[in-house]
């Protein structure tokens, strides 16, 4: 991608979705310019960063013991401060292709349920990575803005953002969050459930990315109209040799029962805790799903079956959060009120 010379040295501000599974960056006036896995490859002895993003993810499970492949974000928060800082710095340099003279301002989105200590860790990691000033915006608010919900109106809007580490359920009205719950059940938990289900049914161990692939290809939250199958590859737990099996949608759907139930229950709790007037508004407007987890087959119909509400999926749900954060960046005068301290 060609970047004008001036912008390399005098950077425009950036918005970042620092996700458990993927990190996305939006640059003022240019839109989304980076979408990379939140994965880092490190030299064990020295801590030297060897690769970040796609390159690091491709190394997963294929490296010698001297190399560690790390996901520094867990459940939507920073699990390894130094590695997160290195990852953010790498992504900033990828955007600008060189070290800028002036440091950019950043808006970073965070889960709604994190502590002040966790917020401070996000802010400080971004500052240490090269930002001059950092604003924070909660993920459900960013997702609602990215999904083009009318957050400026008094009426209630319900958003369900299912990311890699957390599921955020929120009711938003007039630029404010009326209700929110953040549960640490989302894409990663689904992948772990698929790994466990395959281990139980086929006595075979598979890696997290193989589980993720199976979830995407044949996973579902409700019974499908036609049977789906895929080949899953891993290691036999009895003799330790490579093994491949044919897995159908039933196996994966049953494995996903727990995580799907937790997400459905979170939505039901939100509805139970809203006022009758808010519930009536949500009934009229429906529930909007965002995040990669919203792409799970049959999730919308399962939620409709359980809540009787209209269920919609945001356009391009994978980028809804970063697009919303970018919208805050582009319209800071109007939307500064949605930032949190």
> Domains of the chain by range and CATH?
5-141+321-340 (3.30.420.40), 149-314 (3.30.420.40)
pLDDT digits (tens, 9 = 90+) for 270-316: 999 999 999 999 999 999 999 999 999 999 999 999 999 999 999 99
pLDDT digits (tens, 9 = 90+) for 230-286: 999 999 999 999 999 999 999 999 999 999 999 999 999 999 999 999 999 999 999
Contacts of residues 21-24 at CB distance under 8 Å and 24 or more positions apart, as own/partner, are: 21/163, 21/164, 21/165, 21/187, 21/188, 21/292, 22/164, 22/292, 22/318, 23/53, 23/87, 23/88, 23/91, 24/319, 24/321, 24/322
CA torsion through residues 56, 57, 60, 62, sign: negative
Q: pTM of the full predicted structure? A: 0.92
């Amino acid at each position: 991608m060609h970047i004008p010379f001036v912008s390399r040295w005098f950077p425009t501000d950036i918005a970042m979705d620092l996700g458990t599974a993927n990190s996305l960056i939006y640059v003022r006036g240019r839109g989304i310019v980076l979408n990379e896995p939140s994965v880092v490859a490190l030299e064990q002895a020295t801590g030297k960063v060897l690769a970040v993003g796609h390159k690091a993810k491709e190394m997963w499970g294929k490296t010698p013991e001297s190399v560690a492949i790390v996901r520094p974000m867990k459940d939507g928060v920073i699990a390894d401060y130094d590695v997160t800082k290195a990852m953010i710095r790498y992504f900033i340099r990828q955007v600008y292709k060189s070290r800028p003279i002036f440091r950019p301002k950043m808006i970073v989105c965070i889960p709604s349920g994190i502590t002040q200590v966790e917020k401070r860790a996000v802010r400080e990691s971004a500052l240490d990575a090269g930002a001059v000033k950092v604003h924070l915006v909660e993920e459900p608010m960013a997702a609602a803005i990215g999904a083009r919900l009318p957050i400026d109106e008094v009426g209630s809007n319900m958003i369900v953002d299912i990311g890699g580490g957390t599921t955020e359920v929120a009711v938003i009205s007039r630029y404010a969050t009326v209700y929110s719950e953040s549960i640490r059940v989302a894409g990663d938990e689904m992948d772990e459930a698929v790994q466990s289900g395959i281990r139980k049914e086929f006595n075979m161990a598979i890696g997290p990315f193989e589980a993720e692939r199976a979830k995407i290809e044949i996973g579902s939250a409700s019974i499908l109209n036609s049977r789906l199958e895929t080949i899953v590859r891993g290691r036999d737990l009895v003799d330790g040799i490579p093994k491949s099996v044919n897995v159908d949608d039933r196996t994966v759907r049953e494995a996903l029962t727990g995580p799907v139930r937790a997400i459905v229950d979170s939505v039901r709790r939100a509805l139970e805790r809203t006022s009758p007037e808010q519930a009536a508004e949500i009934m009229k407007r429906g529930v909007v799903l965002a995040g990669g987890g919203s792409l799970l087959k049959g999730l919308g119909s399962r939620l409709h079956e359980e809540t009787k509400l209209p269920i919609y999926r945001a356009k391009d749900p994978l980028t809804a959060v970063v697009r919303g954060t970018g919208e805050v960046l582009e319209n800071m005068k109007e939307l500064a009120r949605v930032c949190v301290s």
